[in-house]
Structure 1
Amino acid sequence: MNPKVLKTLEFDKIKELLKEFAASALGHARVSTLTPSIDFEEITDMHEETDEAMTILRLKGHAPLGGIFDIRPHVKRAGIGGMLSPGELVQVGSTIRASRKLKTFVEELVDDEVSIPLLQAKLDSIIPLPHLEQEIRSVVDDNGEILDSASDTLRTIRTQLRANEGRIREKLERMIRSSNASKMLSDAIITIRNDRYVIPVKQEYRGHYGGIIHDQSSSGQTLFIEPEAIVQLNNQLRELRLKEQNEIEKILLELSAKVQESGEELLLIVSVLSDIDFMFTKAKFGKSIKGSKPIINNDRRIKLNKARHPLLPIEEAVANDIELGNDFSSIVITGPNTGGKTVTLKTLGLTNIMAQAGLPIPALDGSEVGIFHSIYADIGDEQSIEQSLSTFSSHMVNIVEILNKVDHESLVLFDELGAGTDPQEGAALAISILDEVHGKGARVVATTHYPELKAYGYNRDGVVNASVEFNVETLSPTYKLLLGVPGRSNAFEISKRLGLSETVIQRAKSHIGTDSKEVENMIASLEQSRRQGEKELEEAHEFLKQAEKMHKDMQKQMMEYYEKKDQMFEKAQQKAETVVEKAKEEAEQVIKDLRKMQQEKSAQIKEHELIQARKQLEEAAPSLPKSSDQKRKAQSTKRELHPGDEVKVLSFDQKGHLVERVSDKEWQVQMGIMKMKVKESDLEFIQTQKKVETKPLAVVKGKDFHVSVELDLRGERFDNAISRVEKYIDDALLAGYPQVSIIHGKGTGALRQGVQEYLRNHRAVKGIRFGDAGEGGTGVTVVKFK
């Protein structure tokens, strides 16, 4: 693709916007080298990758891409035996950790049956290096400082260092607190010069302390002296620091050698993370412009639905439907200046370039884009002062170059074709140039204000006229593209609204030929018909919306009706059962009285007759039909439900999967992208969750990987609570969770304050906040990790 055309159509500005969404220098570098492709398979694959990333952003809102660095120079230097600095080792460890977290994140998505095969294949290709990551973290902290635990020798040396520094400070403290110190010292402080502890002594008392002078103030009145009493201790301190430095270099060399051993694996990790960062960079950009994945074809067809210019604010940009390559291969847009013709040209060209570069396009779903081997554009005033060329000459130089290179696999954009010269000759040239390019089979879109081209599309196959709408009432363009309608001259209408005399206007109209008047009348009629059609279409859409709303309202009312019916039926049934139960109790009492009478008066009432009478009383109780809710309960209790089971929500007549039990009577059910709480009585079992066999991935997880996303501390003592929080944070980090919740309750606030103070000082915590109203409010602290 010609770099000049990319700049003309402002693809470089698109790349600058893209860079803002890159999570690392790797993604930034990939954007810098981004160019449109002409290979169908490559373009299709790029869009599939971008679409997977957009799917993840839509479901999760983010992807864990923090902590990625370009460690290729570090690996290369380690490969030739060089020693890596602590900061470089931190970057190596951070990049390994980022790959591990991303791998865990993708595994969880796959477990949730999210289809992301391209991203999964990329991460499956890398080999995790948890041992190297752990070794780096055991030697260097996140700030690039060597830890005491890096080796036993280093720990011993640093213990001696601290003890020696303590003895030196103790002696110097005694000196500066002595009775005559205020007289001899400029200030009662201990400072360091040339890595040696010194005190500021006034010039006149330089011999009192002896020792070595290391520095003096700018005035010369203060000398920084190392007292003789600590010279030997400072010498020992210097020796210990040299030993410390030697030990650190030894540790770094050993660690650098381990980086060298894993060089190939590290380079593969960098390559994969670079691809993934670039995927999400494109996806985030697509989300920001409300872009969509285009349909790619090899037939050079373009069909853009409500396309917008991506560099214009979404709320200001006018969306247009643009078609090219089906019924016609050339579009000639006529009409006055400042109507938006140039923006339409750039929208078409830039959208096609973005699609061929694998980027989402600023158009609605279902838009189609063809692959062009070359895109040519002659847009704007490209007058060359250096070459002493006029505007017309400058345009003609570009057009000559285009005509020499154009073929059937090209897209050509002409802005104000033939402008800058005599109108009659310019129009003739424009027609001839359009015929030449159209004859070579190229796709062409040209703008012009020559009236002679208004009829161009009516006597040539494969060519259509178009215009950009102008509102005569407001005297301003609407920037809306009208295919099939040539541009209409609005000079008379505009002049009339601005106050020009009707006599002058009528005299002007008399100078226009009959043919011109007929063309203008025809265009006016077309515009009126189009406006009427659009009005009727809008009314039809409004009726459809109202019908859909009524349908939803009816469904809601039906649900409420059945629910109320079941409630009333259940209430009546309970009332009837109460009445029957009371009657049974009274009958039982009568039988008891009869039995008592039989015993007392020897009445001839036999026992089997009493039993038969009780049975008849029980059978006399009415058998009430079950409500729909009871029927559902009977159906649902046929089998015990488990998380993951496929069920049918009877009230909605929809299938879903059980996520988790909320209470004894309720489940959380996933129906499509929606989760909701449903009573168990409203569920009907369909089948058990199918177990998906996945290939084992060589990922090292913590022993508590299946840790809950919540920690409940209510009722705990403060010390025990902090201990539990410390262990829980480590487990959550090993599990790769981006966010967890800690439940501490409201109470006196002491436990909450202590927990939040600990979290603020934790190096892995990015931020904390109280829970929302639905999360527990101030009784819960939500923790986000880096």
Structure 2
Amino acid sequence: MNRKVQKTLEFDKIKELLKQYAASRLGHSKADGLSPSVNYEEIVRMQEETDEAMTVLRVKGHAPLGGIFDIRPHVKRAQIGGMLSPQEFVQIASTVRASRKFKKFMEELLEDELNLPILEEKASQMITLSSLEQTIRQVVDENGEILDSASEALRSIRSQLRSNENRIREKLERMIRSSNAQKMLSDAIITIRNDRYVIPVKQEYRGHYGGIIHDQSSSGQTLFIEPEAIVQLNNQLSELRLKEQTEIEKILVELTVEVHTHSEDLLIIVEVLADIDFMFTKAKFGRSIKGTKPQINNERRMKLNKARHPLLSMEEAVANDIELGDDFTAIVITGPNTGGKTVTLKTIGLTTLMAQSGLPIPALDGSEVGVFQYVYADIGDEQSIEQSLSTFSSHMVNIVDILKQVDDKSLVLFDELGAGTDPQEGAALAISILDEVHQKDARVVATTHYPELKAYGYNRDGVVNASVEFDVETLSPTYKLLIGVPGRSNAFEISKRLGLQDGVIHRAKSYIGADTKEVENMIASLEDSRRQAEKEMREANEFLKQAEKMQRDMQKQMMEFYEKKDEMYEKAERKAAEVVDKAKEDAEQVIRDLRKMRQEKSAEVKEHELIQARKQLEGAAPVLEKSSSAKKNIKKTTREFKPGDEVKVLSFDQKGHLIERISNKEWQVQMGIMKMKVKESNLEFIQSKQKVETKPLATVKGKDYHVSLELDLRGERFETALSRVEKYIDDALLAGYPRVSIIHGKGTGALRQGVQEYLRNHRSVKKIRFGEASEGGTGVTIVEFK
């Protein structure tokens, strides 16, 4: 992608913002080198990577990416036999620890059943090097100091060093606390020169302590002398320090070899952590601009929902809906200066570059961006003093280069096309340039303030006019993009608001041709119509949301009702069974008592009469229907279901029709006015669509027949239609429907009039009305029964 275009569209500023969210120099470096891709599969992959990271941020709020360093130079030096420094080992251990923490973090996320295949794959590529990390931690602390625990030899040497230093300090402490010390020493302190312990002695007493002079003060009055009494101890101390250094080098060499052993794994860890850090860098940036993942297409199609310029604050930026590539491939934005045309142009270009770089875009969900091989832009004042070029000339130099390279895989952005020269010639040139680009099937968006280009969109297929709205009341642009409406001049309205005399304005209007006035009036009417349409669309969307919510609530309530009904039915069955069982026990007891009385008192009660009485008692018990749980166990037919089949939904004990298969195990079923998803195991086949259609309506008797909620009479003869209406009304009444719809169409109105006349005189019809707009309007009559 052209670097000049990236700079023109301010993509470099996006990268500067992006770098602020990197957790390491690795992520920072990747952000700095970011460039839009032109490969469709790669762009889709990058967007999926960013989306996974954004998912993690939404769920967890963060990702553990602290302590990552670029250890590749250290590992490579270890591979060629160089010895690493303690600080380099600290960075290696920290990076290994970061990889281990992230792998554990991923395990927790996967336990929560989050779908993160890319992050899961990357985490699996990293080998957990806990043993290497532990070895380094035993040798070097967080500050890069070698620990005593690095080796037994080092521990022993340092123990001797501390013992020797203590002995030296004790001897020197006795010297500086002696009675003569105050007279002979410049200061009663112990200091170090050339790694040897010394004391500050006055010049005149230099021979009193003997030993070696290591330094003197700037005035020469104080000498730093190593007393003869501790020379031998200092010599031993130097030898021990040399041994310590030798042992440390030995330890570091061995540790470097250990790093070399794991060098390949370490390099993989660095590469993977760099990718992960960059994924979360993009996600954090996307969160900061409230960005979303766009759908990527390879048809150079763009659809942005409420897109904002990402470099403007969300309070200042005006969101616009922008479409390009479906019904039209070119947009010409006309209107006065300072209206926001250039900002819209940059929003389109910058959003495209961001999407092709795998970044979230500042637009709402559902936005779509196409993949362009080339993006060309001629934006801003590019006057070149060095080349002695005017503004017009510099623009033309740029445009000439664009026209040489543009093809059908290009997105071209022109700002103030044809400006900087004679208006008539500039407008003609702008039209010709647009024609040239449009003929090559490139996607093009151009801004201009030439009124001649307002008609351009009406005379070319695939071209649409647009403008940026201007509020005459406040004398300021609203920056709202109006696609399909060309820009109009607001000079007269603005002048009037600012107090210019009506006579001057009226005289100015007289100088304008009638055609221009008509165009301006047409544009004003278009703007008013658009605003009204947008208002009505918002209201319609609000009604739609309310209707969908009511449907969901009703479905929920209906399901709860049927569940409660089944529960109450089963409870009633159990209660009835208990009552009957109790009655049987009481009756059996009475019969036993009667038998006993007959035996004792020879009562005239015959055995067959007792048997007959018992049978009558059993016959009095209510015959209980199968419970809902038993209904669910009805053996279902093995017939394959098809759309249109009449079925019974076992859990609701309701009949309906199959609309379409949703999955291998689910169907969408129409039950009365309700549509809902039902598992196939919960369905029982009744009859096929063909049987329902061919069954004569006149023979329908009884509640088990399914009657449609609407009757379609379109295409029927008048007499046949009335006959069908009569039969249908009878069927609907038998089915117990409170309301039905009769579709008669609009046509000449004869069929509609005849149907409504019949319905008004029907004894069971309570009310009739035309359908609402969502129900079919005047082509449908809604019938309500008494």
After TM superposition, is the score higher than 0.5? yes
Counterpart-to-counterpart distance in 1, 2:32 and 2:293: 22
Counterpart-to-counterpart distance in 2, 1:298 and 1:542: 33
Counterpart-to-counterpart distance in 2, 1:459 and 1:210: 109
- Seen in structure 2, the aligned counterparts of structure 1 residues 384 and 347 have a Cα distance that, compared at 3 Å, is same
Match of 1:449 in 2: 449
Q: Deviations over 1:62-98 (max 9, x none)?
A: 1111111111111111111110000101111111111
Cα deviation, residue 186, structure 1? 2.1
Cα deviation, residue 205, structure 1? 2.3
Cα deviation, residue 11, structure 1? 0.8
Counterpart-to-counterpart distance in 2, 1:25 and 1:524: 55
Counterpart-to-counterpart distance in 2, 1:206 and 1:277: 64
Counterpart-to-counterpart distance in 2, 1:232 and 1:545: 94
- Seen in structure 2, the aligned counterparts of structure 1 residues 112 and 370 have a Cα distance that, compared at 3 Å, is same
Match of 2:459 in 1: 459
Cα deviation, residue 553, structure 1? 12
Counterpart-to-counterpart distance in 1, 2:508 and 2:210: 109
Match of 1:375 in 2: 375
Cα deviation, residue 261, structure 1? 1.1
- Seen in structure 2, the aligned counterparts of structure 1 residues 551 and 193 have a Cα distance that, compared at 3 Å, is farther
Cα deviation, residue 386, structure 1? 0.9
Counterpart-to-counterpart distance in 2, 1:176 and 1:554: 97
Letter of the structure 2 residue corresponding to residue 342 of structure 1:
T
Letter of the structure 2 residue corresponding to residue 495 of structure 1:
S
Letter of the structure 1 residue corresponding to residue 252 of structure 2:
L
Cα deviation, residue 230, structure 1? 1.3
Counterpart-to-counterpart distance in 2, 1:522 and 1:223: 101
Match of 1:245 in 2: 245
Q: Deviations over 1:307-340 (max 9, x none)?
A: 1111111121111111000000000000111111
- Seen in structure 2, the aligned counterparts of structure 1 residues 133 and 166 have a Cα distance that, compared at 3 Å, is same
| Pairing 1:613-624 to 2, within 5 Å after superposition | none
| Pairing 1:346-365 to 2, within 5 Å after superposition | 346-365=346-365
Letter of the structure 1 residue corresponding to residue 267 of structure 2:
L
Counterpart-to-counterpart distance in 2, 1:557 and 1:11: 53
Counterpart-to-counterpart distance in 2, 1:542 and 1:301: 28
| Pairing 1:548-587 to 2, within 5 Å after superposition | none
Match of 1:143 in 2: 143
Counterpart-to-counterpart distance in 2, 1:293 and 1:437: 30
Tell me whether 506-515 or 120-129 shows the greater mean CA deviation.
Answer: 120-129
| Pairing 1:588-737 to 2, within 5 Å after superposition | none
Letter of the structure 1 residue corresponding to residue 483 of structure 2:
L
Q: Deviations over 1:228-287 (max 9, x none)?
A: 211111111111001000000000000101111111111111111111111111111111
Letter of the structure 2 residue corresponding to residue 151 of structure 1:
S
Cα deviation, residue 202, structure 1? 2.2
Counterpart-to-counterpart distance in 2, 1:147 and 1:77: 23
Q: Deviations over 1:421-455 (max 9, x none)?
A: 00000000000000000000000000000010011
Structure 1 counterpart SS, 2:209: coil
Cα deviation, residue 183, structure 1? 2.2
Letter of the structure 1 residue corresponding to residue 182 of structure 2:
S
Matched, 1:506 2:470: no
Matched, 1:59 2:52: no
Counterpart-to-counterpart distance in 2, 1:546 and 1:170: 90
Match of 1:43 in 2: 43
Match of 2:274 in 1: 274
Counterpart-to-counterpart distance in 2, 1:145 and 1:26: 26
Letter of the structure 2 residue corresponding to residue 312 of structure 1:
L
Cα deviation, residue 549, structure 1? 9.8
Counterpart-to-counterpart distance in 2, 1:266 and 1:118: 20
Structure 2 counterpart SS, 1:333: strand
Letter of the structure 2 residue corresponding to residue 68 of structure 1:
I
Structure 2 counterpart SS, 1:421: coil
Counterpart-to-counterpart distance in 2, 1:125 and 1:535: 54
Structure 2 counterpart SS, 1:110: helix
Tell me whether 173-182 or 83-92 shows the greater mean CA deviation.
Answer: 173-182
Counterpart-to-counterpart distance in 1, 2:222 and 2:491: 88
Tell me whether 215-224 or 398-407 shows the greater mean CA deviation.
Answer: 215-224
Letter of the structure 1 residue corresponding to residue 184 of structure 2:
M
Letter of the structure 2 residue corresponding to residue 351 of structure 1:
T
Counterpart-to-counterpart distance in 2, 1:407 and 1:50: 30
Match of 1:114 in 2: 114
Cα deviation, residue 538, structure 1? 4.3
Match of 2:675 in 1: none
Match of 1:129 in 2: 129
Matched, 1:438 2:442: no
Counterpart-to-counterpart distance in 2, 1:539 and 1:483: 20
Counterpart-to-counterpart distance in 2, 1:204 and 1:540: 105
Match of 2:208 in 1: 208
Matched, 1:298 2:294: no
Match of 1:332 in 2: 332
- Seen in structure 2, the aligned counterparts of structure 1 residues 209 and 546 have a Cα distance that, compared at 3 Å, is farther
Cα deviation, residue 542, structure 1? 6.1
Q: Deviations over 1:389-439 (max 9, x none)?
A: 000000000000000000000000000000000000000000000000000
Q: TM-score, normalised by structure 1?
A: 0.69
Structure 1 counterpart SS, 2:383: coil
Match of 1:156 in 2: 156
Match of 1:169 in 2: 169
Match of 1:690 in 2: none
Counterpart-to-counterpart distance in 2, 1:353 and 1:449: 27
Q: Deviations over 1:609-642 (max 9, x none)?
A: xxxxxxxxxxxxxxxxxxxxxxxxxxxxxxxxxx
Across the aligned residues of Structure 1 and Structure 2, the Cα RMSD in angstroms comes to 2.3
Counterpart-to-counterpart distance in 1, 2:92 and 2:516: 74
Structure 2 counterpart SS, 1:473: coil
Cα deviation, residue 533, structure 1? 2.5
Q: TM-score, normalised by structure 2?
A: 0.69
Match of 2:316 in 1: 316
Cα deviation, residue 220, structure 1? 2.4
Structure 2 counterpart SS, 1:206: helix
Match of 1:422 in 2: 422
Counterpart-to-counterpart distance in 1, 2:369 and 2:276: 25
Letter of the structure 2 residue corresponding to residue 226 of structure 1:
E
Tell me whether 29-38 or 330-339 shows the greater mean CA deviation.
Answer: 29-38
Cα deviation, residue 31, structure 1? 1.4
Counterpart-to-counterpart distance in 1, 2:187 and 2:555: 86
Match of 1:14 in 2: 14
Structure 2 counterpart SS, 1:482: strand
Counterpart-to-counterpart distance in 1, 2:331 and 2:549: 40
5+ long unaligned stretches in structure 2: 559-786
Tell me whether 201-210 or 95-104 shows the greater mean CA deviation.
Answer: 201-210
Match of 1:601 in 2: none
Letter of the structure 1 residue corresponding to residue 22 of structure 2:
A
Tell me whether 332-341 or 122-131 shows the greater mean CA deviation.
Answer: 122-131
- Seen in structure 2, the aligned counterparts of structure 1 residues 549 and 228 have a Cα distance that, compared at 3 Å, is farther
Match of 1:185 in 2: 185
Cα deviation, residue 539, structure 1? 4.5
Cα deviation, residue 198, structure 1? 1.5
Cα deviation, residue 554, structure 1? 12
Tell me whether 512-521 or 272-281 shows the greater mean CA deviation.
Answer: 272-281
5+ long unaligned stretches in structure 1: 559-786
| Pairing 1:229-244 to 2, within 5 Å after superposition | 229-244=229-244
Question: Identity of aligned pairs, percent?
Answer: 81
Q: Deviations over 1:580-632 (max 9, x none)?
A: xxxxxxxxxxxxxxxxxxxxxxxxxxxxxxxxxxxxxxxxxxxxxxxxxxxxx
Counterpart-to-counterpart distance in 2, 1:226 and 1:71: 45
Structure 2 counterpart SS, 1:207: helix
Cα deviation, residue 147, structure 1? 0.6
Match of 2:100 in 1: 100
| Pairing 1:386-397 to 2, within 5 Å after superposition | 386-397=386-397
| Pairing 1:478-493 to 2, within 5 Å after superposition | 478-493=478-493
Letter of the structure 2 residue corresponding to residue 509 of structure 1:
K
Cα deviation, residue 380, structure 1? 0.2
Counterpart-to-counterpart distance in 2, 1:539 and 1:268: 56
- Seen in structure 2, the aligned counterparts of structure 1 residues 544 and 227 have a Cα distance that, compared at 3 Å, is farther
Counterpart-to-counterpart distance in 2, 1:62 and 1:3: 33
Match of 2:670 in 1: none
How many residues of Structure 1 are paired with residues of Structure 2 in the alignment? Answer: 562
Structure 1 counterpart SS, 2:208: coil
